[in-house]
Structure formats: structure tokens, C-alpha cells
């Protein structure tokens, strides 16, 4: 359906009756222009937490299958209310649950993965002139049980539905205007990006950008579904997330991310033998502790130092695991530091331009910020620094890469358009 | 499943987390005795009203299909929470929605009728030792849309599920101890009945007894499913609603019902011609106004008086309809009285005993209560009286038919048991 737009509205956008009515007006206006519209909604803000709280009041370990039935009610309520609001405006609309949209998942309750979508009935309803309002976040397993897609599941629903419907675009409406070069609360001249490539968005999401969930971006990238992130409170253009386009003018660095609340653990003098590192990280994985960066230095005497970083929330637990596992170390060989931050620069421009990492290191060095650890991907450089320098580092990098203004050119003067 | 008991819990019985936990304890105790148990739940008290209020805030005429999706969430939430509570007590339980229990209805949204139930999966879960917790009130249409069964729908779900499962009994847990001879708030020595026959219960329900909805009793009667109405707050026996049993000792009159808030409309001097009455009541039916009793007296001069009664809530509307329809009458020929009550006695005993109606009329006459209209069925006599005599009439009849004590005999001394 080439003219179809899928719009997803988050919990705050449908958090009150009045907001639901605002969203309905916005949708009705788009439909009036002749566009076909499909809508995916989250539960009204606070509803999911309220339901979870009740379940936890009853049981420390509520069954995941029952949690799915419980939580899926939230999106059904907002879908029904938005559909009623659309019809009240004279815009013909029909609600559909996860099952009715044919969203079939595996059996992993509370974090199900989409297997396929059979959108035949939705297509028919759209062709008949309806706006179809889909309850997000939920599907149905092949056994016929209600499943939910986990955190940010409604975004993933929206992209998957857009793919299944052959939509031209999937718009994610939220409470921010789009994706920014960095946190506007930290850097006053942070700039909203017009375009971000899937790969960049994946890096940003994995670095803690909350505007889009990583799974939603993965699905969009896989099926090349263009995403737009924009605010449901105004008519700003938002940020387009799409495939790489080499002819497009691009900045070298698109975004600067920071993560506070990081910790570093160092094991000194580990015997430099096969299997030692594996033993340490197996034990952490078994305890379900996610480790971020890992660095190993081999020293001269056949011993090595191993350092890794992780969320400070899991530091204590990690140290316990280390003490149990690494019998061979004396306690003084186990060192931790919970005052570190991770600063990252992300940009597709890094693929074709060298020297960007060097410019980052130079910028930090010019500010007398010591780099404790470094890790890189093709389109990302991350540095661990003392957390007290976080703001300073982010602002200095934002300036150094000239991010407050949109790039006039990225691929050299040859491609510069005549004015 | 001959050992299976279906229990239905109403909205107040699951109105808070604490009450849900109480209900779970009650169910777990029954299961411990080796009984198989299936549970049907209503939405938590107040939930349905809250959802309806939101819909009405958005639209004067919310679509019935959307209302069904909206309201069905309430029972899903309570089913999930009760299931979590049962598992937390170590009682293995699984929730099922209307769809999962295979409850298929017609397409009449907000008042759907059950077509069939396919309980294969529920039977298997019960055989595996689970308590199955069913979200009441809801089903699924053959089109795959969520439907609800209308007022009291969870009671009807429970009975229909009990029939489909071949249960031995369906228990309806509510906030009263059972069915009483009459309103205990009006008559201090009103007595809880141990047994009420289906036919009696149908009459009582149609006369405004709120303890059971008429559809639920109809289904129970059709499939001879024994019902027990009892309180979820204590362990009292409750009232059994079952098939007539001629050998059982029965009172002549089982219940005395009253309905205040009734009105009488009289059309005087209507031409005594075919089609006149039809015209009047067609017009009322078109306006969706339910009429209760109708009486027509033919006068000597080829004119008739027609009287009917109805709920006072619909009186003004009915008078408007009459004025539009019955052009031939002068206004003074249209008389209404909104100060009347309907008093009814109900009992299977009337089938085999004559003189019961006469005893009712005599009792009212002894109290100087004038009877304005009379209507009867095989097991019911109803009288319209001035509403100020309602309490007096109910108490006098309760005494006259000796209803405060359980009958020692009903079929004559020959069957009296020896002490």
C-alpha cells in the first residue's frame, strides 16, 4: 500500500482523554489530505506501571504468561478509546488487537519476537477507507496465547506492521522533537538532526539514546522502512532515520552520546593462560551481568591485567561473582572504580574519513581529560573518562566537530551546490 | 468432567488485591480436597464503569464494537491477577480469555448471544491439574471480533462454560448469602431459601431480583445445570437453583417481590376497533419503551379503556409517544399515575394448589389495600397497588403465606417424615 503512513503514538501522547482527542484530530487531518493512515498506540502513560504494581503486590514472581495477558489490556484500552475519538470526529476508524492484526510471535512471554504478520484484514479495512488503530506491544503465540514484545515493544509493532502493510513511512510520535546531536539539556546548542542513518541510530540506541528502541531500528533497517521520529505536541519535521545515501551531504559525526553511572573493574596479575578470560566472563554471563568494554594487557612476566566496564547498578554483584570465581587472586588484585563515564561519537562519516578518532583524543587531551579506555566500531569511538569531566567532554567535542550547525558539505567541495 | 465445579466471582468479590487473594485462598482450599475447579471472574468493581466513563467523555455514541474491546479488558485484568494469586499460593493456575475458552458469539456487540463453546484446551488444562481462570463477560464473534454478553454477562459465561465442560455444579459467588423469600431490608424475618426452582428464579429475575440475571438462569434451565448462589465473604450454604423435584417438600409461595418506581398510563374512550391497541404498542416498541402489564376494558358504547404499566423512568417519553400517536384522543383522556408499585408472589406450588391468588387478594383487602391491576402466570400473581402500601403489603403477604419458617411439608401429611 504505497500511500500508507503508519503512525505510532507513545504513552504520554495518549496519556489523557484530552490528549487522545488531540491525537485523533492530528490523524483525521492527515486522512483528509487523502493519505491512508494506520495507527499503533501504546498504553496510556502510567497504566502499564499500575498493572505491574498490582501483579507484584500479589506475587514476587508473577508468571510471565499472566503478565502478558495483564499488560496487553493497556494497549487495548487506548486503541479502543482512540478509535472512538476518531469516529466522533467523523473519521471512520476500526481498532485491531495484536491477534486481529495477525501479529504472530514466538512463545517467549514478556519479550516475544515477531515471527510474521498476516495483515489481510487490516489491508481490506484500509481499502474501505478506515483508519486502522492497532493495539501495540502485543501479539499472539502460535499456541494462541497473548504475548508482549518487551520494552519499547510498541515501536517494534509499528515498524513491523508498516513492513507487513508495505507502508511508505513509519512515524514514531513521542514527547521530543527528534534525534539531537547530543543531550540538549547538557549542550545548549545541541541541534536536531534532519537525517540519521540506521547504523548510526543502532549505535546511538545501544549507547542509551531513549528516543528509539534498538529492536525497532533493527527491524526498520532489515526491511529498509524509513522511520520519522517527531513530537506529537507540535508540527516540527522531526528526524528521518533511513538507509545510507552516499550522495547526501553528511556530517562526519552525527551524535555525541554519554553514559554516566558506569564502573570499571580491573583484575591485576591474571596468569596469561588460555581459558582465564573465558572463565571470568562466563561466570558474569551466568549471573546475567552485561559487560560493556573489555581490555586485556599482557605484561612482561607472563601475567595480564584484565579490565572491563559495566553499569554501576551491577557493580556489587559483579564483584561478588569475581571473588567467588577468581580464587587465584588476592583481594588487592581486584580493583574497581565507580566514577567513570563513557563518551561516544557516532557517525557514518567515519567510514570514509580517517583521523576522526585522533581528533576526539586530541580534543579531550586539550581539556586535560585523561582517557582510561577506548573502544571503537566502524562508525563509533567511545572513551572512558573520569565522570566529573562528562559535561566538559561532551561540550568540547560538540564544538570540535562543529555540530551546532548543519553541514553545508561533507564529501568535499566538488559536490558543493551552486548557490 | 463429573467432578468439576465452576465458580463465578463478581466484581465486588475481586474488587481489591486483598479480596483477590481471599478468593484465591478459597479456590485453593477447594482444589486441595481433590475437586477440579474452574473459575469465571468479572472485572474488578468500578473498572467497567471507569472505562465506560472515559468512552462517554469522548463520544455520545461510542461504537459498540469498540466498547466491547474496551470493556473486555476489565475481566482480562482480574483473570490475570487471580491466576497470579493462585500460583503464588502454590495452586497451579492458568488464565483464559473468552477467545481462548472458545466462547463464540453472534455479532451483536455489547449484547452478544453465545453460539457455542469449544473447551478442548480448557479440559486438557484441568486434566493436567490446573485451575483454569476464565475472563467472564466476553467472547469472540465468528468474524474474530471481541464481543461482550451485556449486563450480568459473567454469570451467563459461567453457566455456559459449566455446561460446555460438563461440570457438576456452577457456583455464583456474590455479596449476598443467597436468594431470600423477600427483601431482608424490608422484612426482618425474610428467610434465605435453600432451594429455588429454575422457573421460580426466572420469574423472580424478571421481577427485579438482582441476585441472578435472567439469561444466566435460562441457560442453566435449558441445560439443567444446577446453580448455587452464595456469598464470597463467608461459608454459608447459599441457595440451590435446580430442576423441579415433585417429591421435595416445597412451600406454596417461594418469594415475594416488589417493584417500586412503576407508573400506570390509561387511555380512556379508545374506539373499540381492530388495530387500535396494536398501533399504540407498536409506537411504544419503536421508541424502545418496555411495557409491563396491559389491561383493556370494553365499555358499553363501543369504546374501550386501555391501561398499561411501565418503569417510571420511561413515563415522560411514553406520554410523548402517546400524544403523537393517538391523535384521536383529547388530552383529558390520557391519564397517568406514577405512585404505584407491583407486588408479586412466586411459587411452583401454585401449579398444584388452587386458592393462592385468592389468599393474596384477601390478605391485601384485609389491610385495606386496593388492587388496581392484576396479572398472573402459572407460578406468579402480581398486583398493582398504591405505592405507599408497598411495605405493608409485602409484610402482610410474608406472614399470610407463613414464609418466615421453612416448610415442614408441602404435599400433605401422608409424606410427613416420622420424627
Rounded to a whole number, what is the distance in angstroms from the first to the last CA of chain A? 38
What pLDDT score does B302 carry?
Answer: 73
Stretch among A405-409, B337-341, B408-412 having the lowest mean pLDDT: B408-412
pLDDT tens for B221-236 read 999 999 999 999 899 9
Predicted confidence (pLDDT) per residue in A117-167, tens digit? 999 999 999 999 999 999 999 999 999 999 999 988 999 999 999 999 999
Strand partners, A369: none
For the stretch A200-233, pLDDT in tens is 999 999 888 888 888 999 999 999 999 999 999 8
Residue B246 pLDDT > 60, yes or no? yes
Residue B410's pLDDT band, with cuts at 50, 70 and 90, is very low
Q: How far apart are CA B369 and CA B392, in angstroms?
A: 9
Give A70's contacts in chain B (Cβ within 8 Å): 76-77, 80-81, 84
Q: pLDDT at residue B329 above 60?
A: no
> Residue B367: what are its φ and ψ, rounded to 5°?
-95, 10
For residue A215, what is its C-alpha cell? 529492536
pLDDT digits (tens, 9 = 90+) for A376-417: 888 999 999 999 999 999 999 999 999 988 765 444 333 333
Q: What is the mean pLDDT of chain B?
A: 90
Higher per-residue pLDDT: B249 or A310: A310
| Mean of pLDDT values over A330-358 | 87
First to last CA, chain B: 39
Element (H, E) at A336: strand A334-346
Domains and CATH numbers, chain A: 4-175 (3.40.1160.10)
C-alpha cell of A132? 486502522
For the segment B62-85, the average pLDDT, to the nearest whole number, is 97
Among A183-192, B327-336, B352-361, the minimum mean pLDDT is found in B327-336
pLDDT tens column, A154-206: 999 999 999 999 999 999 999 899 999 999 999 999 999 999 999 999 999 98
Lowest mean pLDDT among A163-172, A229-238, B65-74, B90-99: A229-238
pLDDT at B327 over 70: no
Average pLDDT over every residue of B1-18: 93
What does the pLDDT average to over B96-118? 96
Q: Mean of the pLDDT values across residues A35-59?
A: 96
In chain B, residues with a C-beta closer than 8 Å to the C-beta of A87 are: 59, 62-63, 66
Q: Which burial class, exposed, middle or buried, applies to A61 when counting CB atoms under 10 A from its CB (0-12, 13-18, 19+)?
A: exposed
Tell me what pLDDT residue A330 has.
58
**Mean pLDDT for all residues in chain A:** 90
Phi, psi of B332 (to 5 degrees): -65, -15
Q: Please, which pLDDT band fits residue A332 given cuts at 50, 70 and 90?
A: low
* ipTM at complex level: 0.83
Contacts with A, B 85-114, CB within 8 Å: 85, 87-88, 94-95, 97, 99-100
Query: Which of B39, B81, B82, B97 is most worth mutating to test chain A (most A CB atoms within 10 A of its CB)?
Result: B81
Best of B53, B80, B146 to disrupt the A interface (most A CBs within 10 Å) is B80
Is residue A329 predicted with pLDDT exceeding 60?
A: no
pLDDT tier at B330 (50, 70, 90 boundaries)? low
Confidence band, pLDDT 50/70/90 cuts, at residue B270: confident
SS3 A191: coil
Residue B413 pLDDT class (50, 70, 90 cuts): very low
Positive or negative, the CA dihedral B91, B97, B101, B105 is positive
pLDDT higher than threshold 90 for residue A275 = no
Whether residue B81 and residue A58 make contact (CB cut-off 8 A), yes or no, is: yes
Phi, psi of B196 (to 5 degrees): -130, 135
CB A374 within 8 Å of CB A264 = no
Does residue A419 carry a pLDDT above 50? no
Q: d(Cα B21, Cα B360) in Å, to the nearest integer? A: 47
As to burial, measured by CB atoms within 10 angstroms (0-12 exposed, 13-18 middle, 19+ buried), residue B277 is: middle
Write the secondary structure of chain B as one string of H (helix), E (strand) and C (coil): CCCEEEEEECCCCCCCHHHHHHHHHHHHHHHHCCCEEEEEECCCCCHHHHHHHHHHHHCCCCCHHHHHHHHHHHHHHHHHHHHHHHHHCCCCEEEECCCCCCEEECCCCCCCCEEEECCHHHHHHHHCCCEEEEECCEEEECCCCEEECCCCHHHHHHHHHHHHHCCCEEEEEECCCCCECCCCCCCCCCCECCEEEHHHHHHHHHCCCCCCCHHHHHHHHHCCCCEEEEECCCCCCCEEEECCCCCCCCCCCCEEEEEEEEEEEEEEEEECCCCHHHHHHHHHHHCCCCCCCEEEEECCCCEEEEEEEEEHHHHHHHHHHHHHHCCCCCHHHEEEEEEEEEEEEECCHHHHCCCHHHHHHHHHHHCCCCEEEEEEECCEEEEEEEHHHHHHHHHHHHHHCCCCCCCCCCCCHHHCCCC
Q: Within 10 A of A285 (CB to CB), how many other CB atoms are there?
A: 12
Q: A88 to chain B, minimum CA–CA distance in Å? A: 6
Distance from CA of B294 to the nearest CA of A (A): 40
Rg value, chain A, Cα: 24
pLDDT at A68 over 90: yes
For residues A218 and B158, what is the distance between their CA atoms, to the nearest angstrom?
45
Report residue B62's pLDDT band, with 50, 70 and 90 as the boundaries. very high
From B77's Cα to the closest Cα of chain A, the distance in A is 5
pLDDT category of residue A276 using cuts at 50, 70 and 90:
confident
Residue B118 CB neighbours (<10 A): 12
* Model pLDDT, residue A108: 95
Nearest CA-CA partner of B131 in B99, B77, B88: B88
Q: Would you place residue A331 in the very low, low, confident or very high pLDDT band (cuts 50, 70, 90)?
A: low
Q: Residue A374's beta-bridge partner residues?
A: A383
Total CB pairs under 8 A between chain A and B? 110
Residue B299: the pLDDT is: 67
Residues in chain A within 8 Å Cβ distance of B74: 73
Give the model's confidence band at A288: pLDDT under 50 very low, under 70 low, under 90 confident, else very high: confident
d(CA A275, CA A273): 6
Tell me whether A69 touches chain B (CB under 8 Å). Answer: yes
- B200 vs B380: CA distance, rounded Å: 8
d(Cα B114, Cα B103) in Å, to the nearest integer?
A: 7
A62–chain B Cβ distance below 8 A for any pair: yes
What's the CA gap between B147 and B136, in Å, rounded? 11
CB atoms within 10 A of CB A304: 18
Report the percent of chain B where pLDDT is more than 90. Answer: 72
Distance from CA of B167 to the nearest CA of A (A): 24
| CA–CA separation, A320 and B238 (whole Å) | 58
Query: Where is average pLDDT lowest: A303-317, B95-109, B121-135?
Result: A303-317
B303-316: average pLDDT: 90
Quick check: B69 and A95 CB within 8 A?
yes
Instruction: Write out the H or E segment, with its range, that includes residue A333.
Output: none
What pLDDT, on the 0 to 100 scale, is given for residue A412? 38
Cβ-based neighbour number of residue B373 at 10 Å: 18
Amino acid at each position: 500500500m504505497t500511500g500508507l503512513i503508519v503512525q505510532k503514538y507513545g504513552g504520554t501522547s495518549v496519556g489523557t482523554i484530552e490528549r487522545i482527542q488531540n491525537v485523533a484530530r492530528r490523524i483525521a487531518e492527515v486522512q483528509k489530505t487523502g493519505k491512508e493512515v494506520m495507527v499503533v498506540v501504546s498504553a496510556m502513560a502510567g497504566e502499564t506501571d499500575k498493572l505491574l504494581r498490582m501483579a507484584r503486590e500479589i506475587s514476587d514472581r508473577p508468571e510471565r504468561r499472566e503478565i502478558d495477558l495483564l499488560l496487553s489490556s493497556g494497549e487495548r484500552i487506548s486503541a479502543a478509546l482512540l478509535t472512538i475519538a476518531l469516529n466522533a470526529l467523523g473519521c471512520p476508524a476500526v481498532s485491531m488487537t495484536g491477534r486481529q492484526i495477525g501479529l504472530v510471535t514466538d512463545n517467549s512471554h514478556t519479550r516475544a519476537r515477531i515471527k510474521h504478520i498476516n495483515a489481510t484484514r487490516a489491508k481490506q479495512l484500509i481499502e474501505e477507507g478506515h483508519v486502522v488503530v492497532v493495539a501495540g506491544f502485543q501479539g499472539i503465540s502460535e499456541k494462541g496465547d497473548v504475548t508482549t514484545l518487551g520494552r519499547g515493544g510498541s515501536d517494534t509493532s509499528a515498524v513491523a506492521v508498516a513492513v507487513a502493510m508495505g507502508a511508505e513511512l513509519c512515524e514514531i510520535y513521542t514527547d521530543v522533537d527528534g534525534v539531537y546531536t547530543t543531550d540538549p539539556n547538557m549542550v545548549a546548542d545541541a541541534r536536531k538532526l534532519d537525517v540519521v542513518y540506521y547504523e548510526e541510530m543502532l549505535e546511538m540506541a545501544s549507547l542509551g539514546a531513549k528516543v528509539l528502541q534498538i529492536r525497532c531500528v533493527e527491524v526498520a533497517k532489515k526491511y529498509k522502512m524509513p522511520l520519522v521520529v517527531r513530537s506529537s505536541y507540535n508540527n516540527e519535521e522531526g528526524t528521518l532515520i533511513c538507509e545510507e545515501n552516499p550522495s547526501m551531504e553528511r556530517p562526519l559525526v552525527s551524535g555525541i552520546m554519554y553514559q554516566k553511572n558506569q564502573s570499571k573493574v580491573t583484575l591485576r596479575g591474571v596468569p596469561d593462560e588460555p581459558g582465564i578470560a573465558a572463565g571470568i566472563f562466563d561466570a558474569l554471563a551466568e549471573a546475567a551481568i552485561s559487560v560493556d568494554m573489555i581490555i586485556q594487557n599482557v605484561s612482561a612476566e607472563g601475567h595480564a591485567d584484565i579490565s572491563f566496564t559495566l553499569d554501576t547498578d551491577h557493580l556489587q554483584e559483579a564483584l561478588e561473582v569475581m571473588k567467588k570465581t577468581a580464587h587465584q587472586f588476592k583481594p588487592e588484585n581486584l580493583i574497581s572504580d565507580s566514577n567513570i563515564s563513557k563518551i561516544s561519537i557516532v557517525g557514518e562519516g567515519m567510514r570514509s574519513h580517517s583521523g576522526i578518532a585522533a581528533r576526539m583524543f586530541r580534543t579531550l587531551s586539550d581539556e586535560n581529560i585523561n582517557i582510561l579506555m577506548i573502544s571503537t566500531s566502524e562508525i563509533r569511538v567511545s572513551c572512558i573518562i573520569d565522570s566529573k569531566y562528562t559535561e566538559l567532554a561532551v561540550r568540547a567535542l560538540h564544538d570540535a566537530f562543529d555540530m551546532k550547525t548543519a553541514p553545508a558539505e561533507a564529501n568535499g567541495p566538488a559536490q558543493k551546490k551552486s548557490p
